[in-house]
Amino acid sequence: MMIKVASLFLLIGFYAGSALGEESLDKLDFNPTKIPVNEQGTADLGELESIPTPLVEYIIDSSGSMGQILTQKKTKIFVMKKLLSRYLLSQWTEKTSSGMRVIGSRKKKDCKDNYLAIPPGNTKLGLIEGTVKSMDPVGMTPLYDSMKDAYKDLEKYEGPKRVVIFTDGEETCGKDPCQLAAELKNKNVDFKFFVVAFGLQGQQDTLQKLKCIGDLHQADDEEQLDKLFEDIDKELNPNKNLFVDSPEQQATVMLFRAETPNEIYRRFQASYGIQVPPGRYYAVVNLKPKYRFKEFVVPPNKKVTLKVKGEAKFTANFIDGLMKVELLNKNRKVVKRFNSDKPVDLPPGKWNFRFYRDPFYEKVVNNYLIVPNAEYEYNIEEAGVAYVEDPLVRGIYVFGNRGIMMGNHVTNFPLVLGKGVYEIRVDDKCVFKDVIMGSNKEVVKLQCSKVKK
């Protein structure tokens, strides 16, 4: 398989096996047992500290302002629904699950538009997708009433109680959420509000009105919101015991019980992790190509981290191996050096590549995904090679746009230049004008003996 630019395909739908009975979602679209096991993948054990698990309810603001464009022609509600579905599915457990209350999604100018869409403790996984899809940004923002009702929904739970509010604005129904938050703090219960302010960059007054409710977190784009889900999840779900270290942390992981290898037991995003009962499992990470771990065991009172390992083939296509390449980590430290036009083995990860040839050419490509067992080709199309043939090794001068001298080189050595039109001068009698570089398939040979006098 040859991949010009590394890519990851995340399926938008959600899958669940017959373990969920009539609440199962879409059927499996591939045969997991046909995917070769990658023997290099590991399942590392660690200690698990048992902490009381909170019962959580989410308040989702689906008011009219959530229909505003956020980035790249995507509305706030579109981004919210996409990440919320993925997150809720990842944190679902057989014992209990979070509740979800929605405000402003059904009627315009109605401060009573506040309903419990998913009751806390719901075990019907299929309800999540349909509920999230049905949210439309049409109404008001009754934060006070939704917060009060959310507390009532959780009140009888004996353990820690948490309410997470996702909103892009303040209360619009004339009540004071800060007063309610203060009243609930005075109760002798383990109860806490979190507020995620979405798309409120630069709106300090609104942010200040939300800060008094509880721990305030801010996200202004899809990437920040996804990271917030991950960060908050660590506090809301402290007893997760299965994690996946994948080169693409947003990749979907499909988990199977060993005894039912063709039925998805759980589905979650790699960066979130999940909590599962002790037992024997195997997992498939939805990379391209898909990555299957060999069977592993989750013991009681332990956590397991699955690590995607193995190498991929990478070729930087240029001309005659003349481009130098550096593989850089996120701190820009060189991990590996090699030349173009020859396949090399690279470890999995999101890497930065530096393509260069001193003294005139450099290009950096960031966050290039490398997945085990794949073959990648990157075509360096924004550069070319010139070669000045001369009986003697002499200095040459390279001029770029507007006749500005870029620097010096020598004859009889390859000269790599970025896309553009150049003048290459050896002396007054040997001048090459309008040398075009970029997308050259072979070396452009220049000879002083052929220059018209």
Q: Where are the domains of the chain?
A: 7-45+240-307, 55-236, 312-379, 383-450
Burial 284-300 (b: 16+ CB within 10 A, else e): bbbbbbbbbbeebebee
* CATH number for the domain formed by residue range(s) 383-450: 2.60.40
Superfamily of domain 55-236: von Willebrand factor, type A domain (3.40.50.410)
Count of beta carbons in the 10 Å neighbourhood of residue 389: 12
Q: How confident is the model at residue 12 (pLDDT cuts 50, 70, 90)?
A: very low
250/384: higher pLDDT: 384
Which candidate, 16, 42, 179, places its Cα nearest to that of 94? 16
Nearest alpha-carbon partner for 433 in 441, 442, 420, 424: 424
Do the two domains 55-236 and 312-379 of this chain adopt the same fold? no
Q: Which has the minimum average pLDDT: 8-17, 193-202, 407-416?
A: 8-17
Report pTM: 0.80
- What CATH code is assigned to 312-379? 2.60.40
Burial category of 46 from C-beta neighbours within 10 Å (exposed 0-12, middle 13-18, buried 19 and up) = exposed
Tens-place pLDDT, residues 95-123: 557 888 999 998 999 999 999 988 887 65
For the beta carbon of residue 405, count every other beta carbon within 10 angstroms: 11
8 exposure class (CB count in 10 Å sphere: 0-12, 13-18, 19+): middle
**Beta strand 74-75 with 69-71: parallel, antiparallel or unpaired?**
antiparallel
How high is the pLDDT of residue 396?
96
- CA atoms of 407 and 113, how far apart (whole Å): 69
State residue 453's pLDDT score.
59
pLDDT at 27: 53
Q: What is the pLDDT of residues 158-201, one digit of tens each?
A: 889 999 999 999 999 999 999 999 999 888 789 999 999 998 98
Which tens digit of pLDDT belongs to each residue from 271-324? 889 989 999 999 999 999 999 999 999 999 999 999 999 999 999 999 999 999
Question: What would the two tokens of residue 15 be?
Answer: 């899958």
**What does the block give as tokens for 382?**
């924004």
Query: Residue 126: CB partners within 8 Å, gap ≥ 6?
Result: 16, 20, 22, 23, 24, 25
pLDDT in tens, 321-354: 999 999 999 999 999 999 999 999 999 999 999 9
